[in-house]
Chains A and B, each alone.
Chain A
């Protein structure tokens, strides 16, 4: 008799908890995977595809599913370190198969050579190139992420990747860089 009571009690409890859990799963449903958002926030949003995925968010999803964290050359060591902290894994050196870390660059179209083919416009992942068919194109410099993707499609090779030079406002107080520090007598 006591066996039946015990079974009934536990079956009842299981039912109640099951209902609560079922309700919570529907009521507090998480729309997207928060870890993907967190990883995406760390990635540099260059959208360059050097990692082998078509953009930063797809790579963030891949990392969440267990891909390596060292495939992002624009982010470099700093990004790898942050990703390692977030994912609780060991930081690794950058995988050179995906490229080397380099200074930030920006695309510049040599405008007199542009033939207006729109191929770079289609390649730009952040819509930072302005122009129309048979019209000159130009890069909106402050929107350019320096991803390099417009260089290859250009049939006349008129796009240069120019390193961003520091200005007085963006200077990093690197006093070693000043060419002359003292006045010669």
Chain B
């Protein structure tokens, strides 16, 4: 098992080499975005459930103050990005391709930017893993690479690790947020990595960087001799090398099983941005209230990377960077391969927003009309998960969900390589996402139906039981009555049956007397 992590590098099947366009935004140092007047903080910014809201409109908050609590596993708090007043809490548009509203906390900034921090932890080695994980949860850290999985939950596993992998690959074109962070904050990333190693009780960390980022590699080589536990691996540039499963295959030559996790092979992966956030949270007590966002594309004057507070409206970010909208301008959150077009510019930057791309029409063509599949097979050649994209596409269109599962639809990482090479301009990933959502809906409905069936049957049983109990009660009451009577009789009380007989006899006697009287009357009148 140990032999799999040598200096040798492997490769994964497929992959593409799209134009990188990274030099557009990686030339200048990370700048800080000036404060906005209004921040809109979505309460759910990670994959998992949102925590309960613990502030109310009108409350004064400080920068770094939690706005939601994390009570259950999978919940993460969100924090105020600056000091100010809670203006309102309610539904608003969030960074999601659906454009559907979600709960936002709107904060009017007071401009003072007063900050509250957690108690800095000086010597993290004196603290247990559980304490540090609590700190990482309290700081609201979610995986900053893209999926936004709660970091604490990922660290909170009990299986032994072969190595921790720190992902600095950043393979998607245009995006340079991790690149700039690595160049400028290599030391903090290494310290964060050491903290993560301490938490997962592992001695080895592999830092992977693509060979198109020589400056980032240089800044790490300058500091890495202080950190013997961290090994640097420079991997060849290919999209999507930064995918979790793809990177593990490159570093070890082994494949993460279908529907499995890296931990099944003894690996855990964290993004460089996450390692940086962990270092800040532990050593400085800073919560995750800002991140590096790449603003790029030919329609901004000042492309580059910016420290952006979470909750900053995209419009403010673009206004600062000299955004020139052309007719039918698209604004893409994320990169050109995996990003999505924003419904409008009021949506806020969240923990997983690594890039805002404002392309010109020449730069990134708008979606073309879909043409029929010509079965060229180019998509299958580039699929990094070795799926059959055209097969999946047909099955998705035919809504053959069993077939899709057989073709391992859920191993698709939605990297978009197939759609990129498709000569017929078929939006393949869109079909897969739709099919995945439908499969999930069916599974959810099936689970709900099962619950409903159980509840229906439980109710039927309950009604039947209650009926039996009622009958039983009536029977017992009747028996008790009879018994009480018999006992009373034994003790000399008159038999109620006798009283009845007596009453009948009395009634009969009265009737007879009446009849006699009547007969007498008739006799008298006739006489």
Roughly how many angstroms separate A174 CA and B434 CA in the complex, as a whole number?
7
Taking the complex as formed, is B291 at the interface, i.e. its CB lies under 8 A from any CB of chain A? no
Partner of A45, one of B456, B460, B462: B456
Question: In the bound complex, do residue A128 and residue B455 qualify as a contact, i.e. CB atoms below 8 Å apart?
Answer: yes
Question: In the bound complex, do residue A143 and residue B455 qualify as a contact, i.e. CB atoms below 8 Å apart?
Answer: yes
Give every chain A residue within 8 A of B433 (Cβ-Cβ): 173
Q: What is the minimal beta-carbon distance from A26 to any residue of chain B, in angstroms?
A: 28
Question: In the bound complex, do residue B329 and residue A185 qualify as a contact, i.e. CB atoms below 8 Å apart?
Answer: yes
Partner of B97, one of A127, A170, A175, A183: A175
Roughly how many angstroms separate A109 CA and B175 CA in the complex, as a whole number?
50
Partner of A173, one of B330, B342, B437, B455: B437
Taking the complex as formed, is A153 at the interface, i.e. its CB lies under 8 A from any CB of chain B? no
Give every chain A residue within 8 A of B460 (Cβ-Cβ): 55
Taking the complex as formed, is B100 at the interface, i.e. its CB lies under 8 A from any CB of chain A? yes
With both beta carbons as reference points, the residue of chain A lying nearest to B358 in the complex is identified as A183
Question: In the bound complex, do residue B452 and residue A47 qualify as a contact, i.e. CB atoms below 8 Å apart?
Answer: yes
Question: In the bound complex, do residue A181 and residue B341 qualify as a contact, i.e. CB atoms below 8 Å apart?
Answer: yes
Give every chain A residue within 8 A of B441 (Cβ-Cβ): 170, 172
> 0/1 per residue, A153-185, Cβ < 8 Å to B?
000000000000011101111110111111111
Interface of A is mostly: loop
Contacts A127-B459, A179-B99; A143 near B330 (Cβ below 8 A): no
Roughly how many angstroms separate A24 CA and B459 CA in the complex, as a whole number?
36
With both beta carbons as reference points, the residue of chain B lying nearest to A170 in the complex is identified as B441
Question: In the bound complex, do residue A44 and residue B456 qualify as a contact, i.e. CB atoms below 8 Å apart?
Answer: no
Question: In the bound complex, do residue A178 and residue B343 qualify as a contact, i.e. CB atoms below 8 Å apart?
Answer: yes
Give every chain B residue within 8 A of A167 (Cβ-Cβ): 100, 102
Question: In the bound complex, do residue B344 and residue A175 qualify as a contact, i.e. CB atoms below 8 Å apart?
Answer: no
Question: In the bound complex, do residue B452 and residue A145 qualify as a contact, i.e. CB atoms below 8 Å apart?
Answer: yes
> 0/1 per residue, A104-132, Cβ < 8 Å to B?
00000000000000000000011110000
Question: In the bound complex, do residue A185 and residue B451 qualify as a contact, i.e. CB atoms below 8 Å apart?
Answer: no
Taking the complex as formed, is A40 at the interface, i.e. its CB lies under 8 A from any CB of chain B? yes
Residues 91 to 127 of chain B near chain A (Cβ within 8 Å): 94, 96-100, 102
Residues 51 to 97 of chain B near chain A (Cβ within 8 Å): 94, 96-97
Question: In the bound complex, do residue B94 and residue A168 qualify as a contact, i.e. CB atoms below 8 Å apart?
Answer: yes
Q: What is the minimal beta-carbon distance from B374 to any residue of chain A, in angstroms?
A: 24
Residues 10 to 64 of chain B near chain A (Cβ within 8 Å): none
Q: What is the minimal beta-carbon distance from B181 to any residue of chain A, in angstroms?
A: 28
* Given pairs A168-B98, A177-B98, 7 additional interface contacts (CB within 8 A): A46-B452, A126-B452, A127-B459, A145-B448, A170-B444, A171-B100, A178-B98
* Across the A-B interface, the 8 shortest Cβ-Cβ residue pairs: A45-B449, A126-B455, A45-B452, A171-B98, A185-B325, A173-B434, A45-B453, A178-B99
Residues of B within 8 A of A (CB): 94, 96-100, 102, 325-331, 341-345, 430, 433-434, 437-438, 441, 444-445, 448-453, 455-460, 462
